Structures are given as C-alpha cells and as structure tokens.
Amino acid sequence: MQAGTLTRADLSETLHRQIGLSRAESSRLVEQILAQMCAALQQGENVKISGFGTFVLRDKGERVGRNPRTGVEVPIAPRRVLTFRASQMMRGRIMHGD
C-alpha cells in the first residue's frame, strides 16, 4: 500500500461531489476552515476537532543539544512548536482499520 498526499484540492473536490457545492464554493469553504484554524493557532489557542485530534502549540525552552556527527554541544534557542495528537477514535481507525 502506497501512501499519497491529501490536498486542499482533494478536500474541495470531495465537498463538491458529496455535498453538491460548486467547485468555487467548495474551495472557498476549505480555505475558510484552514484560515480559521491558522488564526486560532496564531493567537495561541489549541484547535480541537472532535473525533479527529488536537493541534497544540507548545513553547520549548532553550536547551543544549549535541551535533551527532561531531559530538559538539550547541545551544538550541527557545521556540514554539506545533504538535498534533490524534483522538482515540482516530487512532483506532488508523491502527485497526475500524
């Protein structure tokens, strides 16, 4: 089984076919949803989609890392990272094909 990539165009096409929205309306709806998610994350909010998962912003402090090739210690600057945690339902679907 080869994994592909789900794109915005794929999401829009699914809305067009399954719900009957025009292609332009479908595309606009996908863009509005993604824009809302991005805006919430930019404001420091988490984004939870019930039954799917949660996008969480975390602030990581400064720490010391090591270059694996040379072994030299280097400081890693503080940064903000975005993580995704799949819901229990999603994990079940992915792992067990439910």
Q: Which pLDDT band holds residue 1 (cuts at 50, 70, 90)?
A: very low
Average of pLDDT values for 59-65?
93
CATH 3.30.70.890 given to domain 46-98: no
Q: Taking each helix axis from N to C terminus, what angle separates 8-19 and 23-42, rounded to the nearest 10 degrees?
A: 130
Average of pLDDT values for 81-91?
94
Residue 74, number of CB atoms within 10 A of its CB: 9
pLDDT, the chain, mean:
92
Q: Where do the domains of the chain lie?
A: 7-44, 46-98
- Identify which of 92, 95, 86, 91 has the alpha carbon closest to the alpha carbon of residue 56: 86
